Structure formats: C-alpha cells, structure tokens
Structure 1
Amino acid sequence: MRHFLTLKDYTKEEILEIIELGLRIKAEVKAKRFTPYLEKQTLAMIFEKSSTRTRVSFETGIYQLGGMGLFLSSRDIQLGRGEPMKDTARVISRMCDMVMIRTYSQSKLEEFASFSNVPVINGLTDEYHPVQLMADYMTMMEHGKDRNPVVAYIGDGNNMAHSWLMLAAKLGFELRIATPKGYECNPEIVVDAMEFAQRSGAALLFTNDPEDAVAGADVVTTDTWVSMGDEEEKEKRLRDFAGYTVDEKMMKLAHADAIFLHCLPAYRGLEVTEDVLEGPQSVVFDEAENRLHAQKGVMVWLDGKRDEV
C-alpha cells in the first residue's frame, strides 16, 4: 500500500505514470465515458483548512470514478474535539477505502497515514501541496512545456515552492525560485531537493531578484503572499513583497510563448496583475480543471487499478 504525502516519496517514472493515467481518464471523460474504476468505494475528505478547488475536485473525481466522497470538517468529527489523530485514523480507515486530508502540519498528516490501513492523500499541508503540482505538470504537458522546461517561481518560499522543488528535483528540469529576503524555502526541504537533483540533473537556483528568475523562462508561476494562517502578518508581507508582482513587464522577460500558472485563489494586483491573469499566456483555468483529472489519476493509481485504464 502506498500513500501520496509528498513527491519526495515517488520516482520520476511513477510521477509521470500517474499524470499519464490522469490524462487518459480525462480523455475518457471528455468523450462522455465514465468508467467506474473505483466503483462503490468511499473517499473520506478531512478538511481542517477550507478550500474550493480541493473539495470540488476530489468530490467530483471520486463520483466520476464510481465512488462517493464524505466531506468531514474538523467541526464535524471528534478530531476537532480532541480525539487523538491515531484513533481517528484507525476508525476512518476501517470504514472508508481512501482518505484525503487538508490540514496544517505535515507531521499530523504523516501520523494519520502511519495508523491508516488505506491510502492517504495530501490535499495540502503547510509544507507541501503535491496534488497541485501533478495538475501543474499535466497542464505543462498539454501546452508543450514539458521538454527541458525552465520554470520560474516568484513569491513566498511556502508549500507551493517546496512542491515545485520536489517536482523539479525528481523530473530533472531547471527551476528558479525568487523570494524576498526572509521568505526563503525551508532549508531542510532544500537539502532534500538538492540530493534528488544531483541524481536527476535538475538545476535548482535561488535568488532574491524576480527578474533574474523570469528571464528566458518557459513557465512563470506564483502563489498568494498571504496564505491561511499568515493573516496577522498581512501588512508586513505586502511591504516585503513589493516588486514581486508578476505583471506584463515581468512576463516580457520570459520566452514569448511562456505560460503563466497560479494554483488559485489569486489576489489581483498583489502577486499577479489582472492583465496577466486574464491574458493570453495565462492557463490558470486549464490548471484548475486539471486538479480534477490529476487527482483521479492519483486515486486510481493508489488503488492499483492503473492497468485497467
């Protein structure tokens, strides 16, 4: 049995296999063929952090695969009233076939997984957001940006930056991360990524100059500057991130056919301008849709049904 907690746990071949699986399932759906690969299976969806895309994509995804999703907020279950994580894990995993958790601490997710006897999927933690990166790379593939790409990530050294690091390190492409001073990536995660990069040939570059990062890039991506839990620092963050807005001037430094990605929600005028988000290089809504298809690939792969697609 495998869990999907971080891309660190997966090989290049496995990551690409899961994405290709998602693409095949997507093609079936576009042809109005809904194969019940996970017929009558139940996905428990535990949310300690709220979400639009994560809930809709997982709930729709398991339904399209022939199963059903159970939405469980921390207000609805005993976990929110102090039940130990290990007890919740052992109960839910005896009743459901798979679990998706969107929470704060990666350690909490990993504790749940260690006591679960069914696959557990990371729907987002403060450290990683691996399902988003599966959708992002699927979108890059669909737009022809998966052949030795140069990716520029501009903004906070957060869970999205960490997940980009792991994806680049595993797949072997060039990633440039530009963060303000004091907002760099977690050093321990950087060390892990660097070790994988030595094997794959990935180039991982870190800078405090966003223009240097974007110059000649094939993909430009960013994320909100004020994530859930950072609200008290909002005014300070807005000052510290001055100059990190992805605008038309910055996009002109990238390749002329570069694409723009954003995991959403986007705050127009902060990390990205309206004209970039709504412009011809933006593929953010293709990317958002691909959360649905990439995650179906993850679920089918974890269930061992990949040879049936």
Structure 2
Amino acid sequence: MRHFLTLKDFTRDELQEMIDLAIRIKAQTKAGEYVPYLKNQTLAMIFEKSSTRTRVSFETGIYQLGGTGLFLSSRDIQLGRGEPMKDTARVISRMVDMVMIRTFEQSKLEEFARYSRVPVINGLTDSYHPVQLMTDYLTMLEFGKENPVVAYVGDGNNMAHSWLYLAAIMGFELRVATPEGYECDPEVVAEAKKLAERYGRTLILGHDPKEAVKEADVVTTDTWVSMGQEEEKEQRVKDFAGFMVDKDLMALAKDDAIFLHCLPAYRGYEVSEAVFEEHAEEIFTEAENRLHAQKGIMVWLDQHRFDDAEIEN
C-alpha cells in the first residue's frame, strides 16, 4: 500500500513517473479524451481545513478519471464529534477506493493512513503540501525550467518544507529566504539536506531575499498568514517587511524568470499587484495544474495499491 503523505517517501524515479502520468493525462484532457483510469472508483475527500482549489481539483479530477468524489467536512462525519481517527479510517476505507485528507496535524494524517485499507493522499497539513509541489514541478517543466534555480521567499511553512524535499529529491538548486524567527523546521532541513547529498545538490537557507532571488529561474512565495494564524497577522506583517516579491526584487532574477504562487494571493503583502498581474499566466497555469498533477498521483497510487500492504486493524 503506497500513500502520498510527504515527498520524502518517494524516489526521484517514482515522482517522475507521477509527473509523466500527469503530462499524458493533461494532454488527453485537452484533446477531449477522458480515459477512465479509475472507472467506478470513489474518492473520499475529508476536509478539516476548507479550500477552493483542493476541493474543485480533486472532485473534478476523480470525475474525469471515471470515478466519483465524496466531499466530507468535519461537520458531516463523526470525526468532528470526537470519533478516533483510526476508527474513521477503518470505516471509510472499507467503503471507498482512495482518501484525500486536508487537515492540521501531520500526525492525524499519518494515523489515518496507518489504519487505512486504501491509498491516502495529503491534501495539505500544517507541515507539508506535497500535491502543490508536484503541481509546481509540472508547471516549471511546462515553462521550460527543467533544471532550475528556485528562490522561495517568505514563511518557513508547509510550502517551504515541501520545496526542500522536492529540490533535494529532483536535484535542482533551491534558495530559501525567511525572516528571522520564521525559519523552516530544523528536523525537516536536516532530513532534506541528507536527501540532497545523494544527488549532489546543496540547499541554501538564509534571511536575505535579494541573495535568494539573484539570477533565479523561478521565484515563489506563499501567504504570510496561513489558515489558523489570523490573530498573528499584525505582528507577521511587521516581521515580514522587506519580503514582498515586488518588481525590484523580481528584477534581480533572470530576465525570463517565472513567478509561482499556490494561491490565494494577498496583493500588497507577499506579492505586489504588478508582479502578480505580470506573471498571471504562470500563476493560473499553476492553479489549473493542481487538477492534472493530482490525477497523475491518483492513477499512480492506484497502480501501486497492492505493494507490500500492511494494515493495522
């Protein structure tokens, strides 16, 4: 049983297989050819954190693959009334073919996967956002950035952690610039650096956005105030002064650099209106690619669902 919980669980070849599937399925979709790779299968979508892109992309994706999606918020199921995660897993996984969870703690996701009979996908946790990074990698390839220098500017959050793993495994240069006090989790950094050593790459982490962006092929950022951090907004805005990706900062990157943002974007905070609109084609191609990247992940997991399955129940 293979789950999609973090990028570090996969080899470079396995991640590339998922991307290749996404590229093929996207081309088929654009040609109006909907191949029922997951015919009659059901995807349960458990949302403890709400989302526009995650719900629409997974629900549309499973439909285009020949299956059905079930939207389950914490208000809709007994999990929201205190049922143990492992019991929810043992019930739902006997009724569906795959589960996507968007939640807070990574530990809750991992507990569900441990007791699940079917593949589980991380739709986002406070620690990682791996489906978004597969999306971003697909988008970089489409814009001709096959061996890029990537600059991530902003919070050392779940996006930054997933960028570290993606760069380490796929073997491209990543520079992360965060304000002091908002660095990435040291354990994630240490683990990512070990992975990077296998492929001869160095991950660069610091506090200077200008140094990170200089001559970069790809510049990316994320919101400074993630869901659940609203009370910290005023302090965070002060602490992140100088970290907005504006035209002056983008000018330090290569002339043909692209800008990515996982959305929603807050103009005037992590990105300026001018930069966002100038790079809108890249950003909204990236948004669309959530659909196609996730289809590639789901099909790959279905093909590998019986590999060394271990179920604790």
Name the TM-score class by shorter chain. over 0.9
Conserved 8 A contact 1:152-1:220 = yes
**Secondary structure, in 3 states, of the residue corresponding to 1:46?**
strand
Conserved 8 A contact 1:12-1:170 = yes
User: How do 1:44-193 residues align onto structure 2 when only pairs under 5 Å count?
Assistant: 44-146=44-146, 148-193=147-192
Partner of 1:27: 27
Conserved 8 A contact 1:156-1:179 = yes
How far apart are the structure 1 equivalents of 2:85 and 2:175? 37
How far apart are the structure 1 equivalents of 2:200 and 2:229? 35
Q: CA deviation at 1:64?
A: 0.1
Show structure 2 runs of 5+ residues with no match: 306-313
Q: Tell me the number of residue pairs that the alignment of Structure 1 and Structure 2 aligns.
A: 305
Q: CA RMSD in A?
A: 1.1
Post-superposition CA distance 1:184-239 (Å, at most 9, x none): 00001001101101101122001111000000000000000000111111000000
Q: CA deviation at 1:278?
A: 0.7
TM superposition outliers: structure 1 runs of 4+ over 2 Å: none
How far apart are the structure 1 equivalents of 2:72 and 2:15? 28
Post-superposition CA distance 1:145-173 (Å, at most 9, x none): 01x21000000000000000000010111
Conserved 8 A contact 1:173-1:201 = no
Partner of 2:311: none
Partner of 1:36: 36
Identity of aligned residues (%): 73
> Would the alpha carbon gap of residues 281 and 63 (structure 1) be closer, same or farther in structure 2, given more than 3 Å must change?
closer
Conserved 8 A contact 1:257-1:281 = no
| Paired AA for residue 219 in structure 1 | V
> Would the alpha carbon gap of residues 280 and 5 (structure 1) be closer, same or farther in structure 2, given more than 3 Å must change?
closer
Post-superposition CA distance 1:35-58 (Å, at most 9, x none): 111011000000000000000000
Conserved 8 A contact 1:259-1:282 = no
1:287 and 2:264 equivalent? Answer: no
> Would the alpha carbon gap of residues 232 and 300 (structure 1) be closer, same or farther in structure 2, given more than 3 Å must change?
same
**Secondary structure, in 3 states, of the residue corresponding to 1:278?**
helix
How far apart are the structure 1 equivalents of 2:52 and 2:304? 27
**Secondary structure, in 3 states, of the residue corresponding to 2:43?**
strand
Q: CA deviation at 1:280?
A: 4.3
How far apart are the structure 2 equivalents of 1:43 and 1:85? 18
How far apart are the structure 2 equivalents of 1:261 and 1:184? 20
| Paired AA for residue 225 in structure 1 | W
**Secondary structure, in 3 states, of the residue corresponding to 1:301?**
helix
How far apart are the structure 2 equivalents of 1:139 and 1:62? 21
**Secondary structure, in 3 states, of the residue corresponding to 1:292?**
helix
Conserved 8 A contact 1:258-1:281 = no
Partner of 2:310: none
> Would the alpha carbon gap of residues 280 and 83 (structure 1) be closer, same or farther in structure 2, given more than 3 Å must change?
closer
Conserved 8 A contact 1:153-1:220 = yes
How far apart are the structure 2 equivalents of 1:124 and 1:203? 26
Show structure 1 runs of 5+ residues with no match: none
User: How do 1:240-251 residues align onto structure 2 when only pairs under 5 Å count?
Assistant: 240-251=239-250
> Would the alpha carbon gap of residues 191 and 130 (structure 1) be closer, same or farther in structure 2, given more than 3 Å must change?
same
> Would the alpha carbon gap of residues 145 and 92 (structure 1) be closer, same or farther in structure 2, given more than 3 Å must change?
same
Conserved 8 A contact 1:138-1:294 = yes
Conserved 8 A contact 2:259-2:279 = no
How far apart are the structure 1 equivalents of 2:284 and 2:237? 25
Post-superposition CA distance 1:116-146 (Å, at most 9, x none): 0100000000000000000000000000001
